[in-house]
Amino acid sequence: MHSQYAQIMAGLYIHIPFCKSRCIYCNFYSTTHADMRQRYVDALCREMEMRCPLPSSAFGKELETIYLGGGTPSQLTIPQLKQLFLYINKVYPHSSLHTREFTIEMNPDDVTAPYAKALSQLGINRVSMGAQTFDNERLHFLHRRHTSEQVAEAVSRLRAVGIQNISIDLMYGFPNETIEDWQRDIDAALALNVEHISAYCLMIEEGTPLWKWKKVNGEWAMDEELERQMYELLIDKLTAAGYEHYEISNFAKPGYRSRHNSSYWHDIPYIGLGAAAHSYMPVDYAGSVPAASTAGSTSRSWNVADIRQYIDTIEQGERPCEEEIIDEDTHYNDRITTALRTSDGLDLTTLSDNHRRYCLREAQRYINDGQLKLAGNRLSLTRKGLFVSDYVMSSLIMVD
Ligand code: SF4
C-alpha cells in the first residue's frame, strides 16, 4: 500500500478544452470549435455518472476540491456551468460545502460583471487567471486576448462579488526581456494584492507557433544567468511581500496555497473528467475491476486527447481511456518528482525501507553540497537546490 491516502478523495478535475483563440506558446490540448461545447458538457455529465459506480458514501463526502481547468473554462456559458454543478451535486451529494476549494481558470477578458456574479452564486471560491505579463506588446506577441488593464479590472470585478482567493500566472524569459522589465511585471502583480502567484519561464515547445517563429527568426535562447537572476528576483520580491514560496513555481499568502494542486504533489487521489484528463487513485476506486494481484495498488489513467473521440465514446457508454497500474518503483519515482517540488518536501516515512535507503544514499552528496536538506524525516530542496532541481530529482529516481 502506498502512503496514507486511502481515506481521502481529494480532487475532482474537469477539463474544458475550448479556447477562443490559441496562444503561440501553448501545447495544452484545446480547440477553438465552440460549437461542440454543449455535446461536450453533456458527455462530461455522463462520464461523471459512469465513473461513480460506488455508493457516494464510499468517497463522495471526501471530495475536497474541484478544479475546472483548460483550455479556458470561462468559455462555457453560465447555463453550461450550472449543468455541470447540478451533476456534481447529484453525483457527489455529500461533498462538504464548507471545506472544499472550488477553482475555475479564466481568461481576464472573460471576467464580465454578470459572469463574475454568476460564478460566485454557483459556489466558486477561487479564480486562477493567466495574466502572463503586464506589457501589452508582449501580450500581443503571445497572442493573448487580454490587455494588462483587463487583468486589474477582472480582479476588481471578482472582489466585488466576494471572491477572495485569486491566483494569477506570470511568465518570464521573453525575447529581449531585461531584468528591469521583469521587475516591472512583478511589481504590477504585487500591486494587485492577489492571494496566489504562479510564475514560469517561457518554454518553447516543439510544434507550437512560437517554436516555428523561433525557426524563422533565428536562434533565441534564454541566457541561463539572466534566467537565474529573474528567478532570484521573483523569490526575493514575493517572499519580502509576505508570500510563501511553497512550490518551485508557486507562491501563496499564508492560508492560500492551492489545495487542489497540492494534492498532485502530495500523493492524494484525484479523478479527472473530460478529454485528456488524468486520474490517480487506488485501484478499488478507479472504476475498473481490480485483479487480486493489483488490490491495494494505485492506478493512473488518462482519457483520450481528442474531443470528438471522447464525446462519441462516452455517448456509447464507454470511457475512452488508457490505464496503468503503478508499481512500487514508479510510485517512488513519482514521489521524488512531485513532493520534492514543494517546500514541505518528501516525507521519508511514507517510503518503503528499500526506497528510503536508496533515496538517502543518493541524496547524501546533494545534502553535503547544500542543495538538499534533511530535517527529521523530511527531505527538501534548499534555495541553492531550487536552481538545479531537475538535475537533483533525476539523480534520485530509480532507473531499470
Ligand atoms: S488560453 Fe490557455 S489553454 Fe488556451 S491557448 Fe492560451 S494558454 Fe493555451
Question: DSSP secondary structure string, 293-320?
Answer: GGTT-EEEEEE-S-HHHHHHHHHTT---
Q: What is the pLDDT of residues 106-134, one digit of tens each?
A: 999 999 999 999 999 999 999 999 999 99
Ligand 1 centre and the CA of 202: distance in Å?
13
From 214, 222, 133, select the one nearest 181 (Cα to Cα): 133
Q: Which residue has the cell 459506480?
A: 53
How far is C-alpha 341 from the geometric centre of its chain's CA atoms? 13
* CA atoms of 166 and 64, how far apart (whole Å): 18
Residue 100, pLDDT score:
76
Q: Which residue has the higher pLDDT, 17 or 54?
A: 17
The residue whose CA has the least distance to atom 2 of ligand 1 is 71
From 354, 296, 356, 286, select the one nearest 323 (Cα to Cα): 286
DSSP annotation of 32 reads S
Ligand 1 centre and the CA of 72: distance in Å?
7
% of the chain residues with pLDDT over 90: 74
Tell me which of 22, 31, 143 to substitute to probe ligand 1's pocket, judged by most ligand atoms within 8 Å of the beta carbon: 22
From 370, 362, 364, select the one nearest 387 (Cα to Cα): 370
* CA atoms of 253 and 194, how far apart (whole Å): 8
Q: Does 71 sit behind a cis peptide bond, omega within 30 degrees of 0 on the bond before it?
A: yes
Ligand 1 contacts CB of residue 22 (under 6 A): yes
Ligand 1 contacts CB of residue 200 (under 6 A): no
Q: Is 261 exposed, middle or buried (0-12, 13-18, 19+ CB in 10 A)?
A: buried
Ligand 1 contacts CB of residue 23 (under 6 A): yes
Ligand 1 contacts CB of residue 19 (under 6 A): yes
Q: What is the pLDDT of residues 281-304, one digit of tens each?
A: 876 554 444 444 455 578 899 999
Ligand 1 centre and the CA of 109: distance in Å?
13
Ligand 1 centre and the CA of 30: distance in Å?
8
Q: Which atom of ligand 1 has the smallest separation from the CA of 26?
A: 8
∠ CA 123-125-130, nearest 5°, is 125
Ligand 1 contacts CB of residue 29 (under 6 A): no
Residue 40, pLDDT score:
98
∠ CA 162-168-171, nearest 5°, is 170
Q: At what angle do helices 148-160 and 113-121 cross, to 10 degrees?
A: 40
From 16, 21, 139, select the one nearest 81 (Cα to Cα): 16
From 279, 260, 93, select the one nearest 167 (Cα to Cα): 260
Ligand 1 contacts CB of residue 30 (under 6 A): yes
* Strands lying side by side in the sheet with 321-326: 244-247, 250-252, 196-201, 166-172, 126-132, 101-106, 65-70, 11-16, 270-273, 278-282, 298-303, 321-326
* Strands lying side by side in the sheet with 372-375: 346-347, 378-381, 372-375
CB atoms inside a 10 Å sphere around CB 390 = 10
Tell me which of 21, 23, 200, 203 to substitute to probe ligand 1's pocket, judged by most ligand atoms within 8 Å of the beta carbon: 23
Residue 384, pLDDT score:
96
Ligand 1 contacts CB of residue 17 (under 6 A): no
Q: Which residue has the cell 481521502?
A: 8
Q: Are 24 and 208 in contact (CB under 8 A)?
A: yes
* CA atoms of 57 and 59, how far apart (whole Å): 6
What is the average pLDDT value for the chain, to the nearest integer? Answer: 89
From 262, 266, 267, 240, select the one nearest 250 (Cα to Cα): 262
The residue whose CA has the least distance to atom 8 of ligand 1 is 26
Residue 361, pLDDT score:
97
Ligand 1 contacts CB of residue 24 (under 6 A): no
Q: What is the pLDDT of residues 312-367, one digit of tens each?
A: 999 999 999 999 999 999 999 999 999 999 999 999 999 999 999 999 999 999 99
Kindly give, in sequence order, each residue whose CB lies less than 8 Å from that of residue 187, ignoring residues fewer than 6 positions away: 237
Q: Which atom of ligand 1 has the smallest separation from the CA of 27?
A: 8
Mean pLDDT, range 72-86, rounded to an integer: 95
Whether the model pTM is above 0.85: yes
Ligand 1 centre and the CA of 229: distance in Å?
27
From 119, 127, 109, 133, select the one nearest 165 (Cα to Cα): 127
DSSP annotation of 256 reads -
Residue 244: strand, helix, or coil:
strand
Mean pLDDT, range 206-223, rounded to an integer: 81
For residue 280, list its beta bridge partners.
Answer: 270, 300
Q: Which residue has the higher pLDDT, 298 or 280?
A: 280
Residue 11, pLDDT score:
86
